[in-house]
Amino acid sequence: MNKEIVVSGIRPTGNLHLGNYMGAVKNFIKMQHEYNCYFFIADFHSLTTHPNPKDLHQNVKQVLAEYIACGIDPEACTIYIQSDLPEIAELYLLLNMHAYKGELERVTSFKEKAKSHPNNINAGLLTYPVLMAADILIHKALKVPVGKDQEQHLEMARTFGNRFNRIYNNELFPEPQAFNYGNQLVKVPGLQGGGKMSKSDGDNTVINLNDDDATVRKKIMKAVSDVSPTEPNSTPSQAVQNLFDLMTLVSNQEVISYYKTTFADCSIRYGDLKKQLAEDMALFISPIKQKIDEISGNDEMLGKIAKMGAEKARDSASKTIATAREMIGFTKFY
Ligand code: ATP
Ligand code: MG
C-alpha cells in the first residue's frame, strides 16, 4: 500500500531551537518510519529577510547537520534543500497567478512582519503562503507537521490547491492538513515573556539545540518572570505561564505539580523554579548538542545526504509539475 505523503521544512535563518524541535522535528522523527516523508531546508523562504550569502550558506549546512543530529534519517525519508528543486519555484509562479492581494494581505504573519519590518515589505513576504503551498503541493502531501504558527498558512495551501484544481478541472492536488502527534498543534513560548520562540527574535529569547549547558542555564535564569502571587489560586501572568509551559516540555510530572502547588498557595520562588527548569532544560538539550558537535563540519557526509535527497525529491516534484504544466496548456507541439 502507498504510504501517505508528508512534507515539512524549516527556514535556515539560524540555529534550530526548542520550538522548532517540539513543533516540527519531534514529529518528523516519528513520522519518517510511518509515512513517505519529505523534509527540507527552506532556503527560498529565508530570502524574505535578505540574508548575507555567506551566512545563508553556513546556516543551510547547520540546519542539515541539526536535522541529522536530532535523529532524522536520510535513509528513512527524503531530506533536501528547497533551492535544489526549481520545480518548486515554477509551481509558486503558477499558483501566484490565482493568489489575490486582498487575501494575502489578511494573513496574520504578513501583517505582523510588515509591522515589525516596515522598510522591507517585499513581494516575497506577501506571497510567502503561496511558496509554502507550492512546497506542500509539489509532493501532493496530505500531512504537514508544523507548529501552531503555521495553521493559517495550511489553510491557504488548501485554498490555493483547491482553486487550481477547480480552475483547470482536475484533481491534481489533495488537501493537506497540519499535523502533530499530540493532536493539538504546539506553540513553545520565547523567554521574553510573550510570543512564540523564534529564530529571528534574538538569541537571548530562544533555547537553541546547539546551546551548551552554561548558556541554557544563563538564558533560563534571565527569562522574564513576574512578582510573586499575593492571592491564593490566582491566574499566572503570561510570563509565568510561559515558564510553566516550558517546564511541561522538559520536567517530570512531580516537579511540575510541586511548582503549581507553590504558585497556588503563594509560596513559590521564581528563582527556584528557574533553577529547576534550567537543570531540566540543560539535561534535555545536552545529548542533542553533543550530536550536533559530532556532525557539523562533516561536509562530505552532509553533501552526500543533500545530493541524494535532491535526486529523490526532484523525482517526485517533476511528476507534479509536468501534470500542472499540461493542465494550464503548456503542452508541447514540437
Ligand atoms: P523565523 O523566525 O526565521 O521565522 P522560526 O523560529 O519561526 O524562524 P520557522 O523556520 O519559521 O522557525 O519554522 C519551522 C518550523 O518550526 C515550523 O513548523 C514552525 O511551525 C515550527 N515552530 C517555529 N517556532 C515554533 C514554536 N515557538 N513553537 C512550536 N513550533 C514552532
Ligand atoms: Mg517562522
Mean pLDDT in residue range 152-161: 98
Does 245 lie in the same domain as 111?
no
54 noted as active-site residue:
no
Does 246 lie in the same domain as 289?
yes
% of the chain with per-residue pLDDT over 70: 100
* Number of domains observed in the structure of the chain: 2
3-state secondary structure of 106: coil
Does 143 lie in the same domain as 34?
yes
Q: Is the pLDDT of residue 63 over 80?
A: yes
pLDDT at 25: 97
**Each residue of 207-241: pLDDT tens digit?**
999 999 999 999 999 999 988 899 999 999 999 99
| Catalytic hit among 199, 219, 274, 289 | 199
Calculate the average pLDDT of the chain.
Answer: 97
Q: Which residue has the cell 559530532?
A: 294
**Phi and psi angles of residue 41, each rounded to the nearest 5 degrees, phi first:** -105, 115
Does 122 lie in the same domain as 40?
yes
Expressed in angstroms and rounded, the spacing between residue 196 Cα and the centre of ligand 1 is 8
Does residue 243 lie in a domain region? yes
Report which secondary-structure segment, H or E, holds 239: helix 238-250
Residue 243's domain spans which residues? Answer: 199-293
pLDDT at 332: 86
**Each residue of 2-46: pLDDT tens digit?**
899 999 999 999 999 999 999 999 999 999 999 999 999 999 999
- Of 8, 18, 20, 37, the one to substitute when testing ligand 1's pocket (max ligand atoms within 8 A of C-beta) is 20
Closest-lying ligand to the alpha carbon of 190? 1
Does residue 14 lie in a domain region? yes
Does 181 lie in the same domain as 70?
yes
Mean pLDDT in residue range 132-157: 98
pLDDT at 183: 82
Does residue 52 lie in a domain region? yes
pLDDT at 1: 64
pLDDT at 207: 98
Q: Which residues of 5-27 are buried (b: 16+ CB within 10 A; e: fewer)?
A: bbbbbbbbbbbbbbbbbbbbbbb
Whether residue 153 has its Cβ less than 6 Å from ligand 1 = no
140 noted as active-site residue:
no
Name the pLDDT band for 204 (thresholds 50, 70, 90).
very high
Q: Is the pLDDT of residue 251 over 70?
A: yes
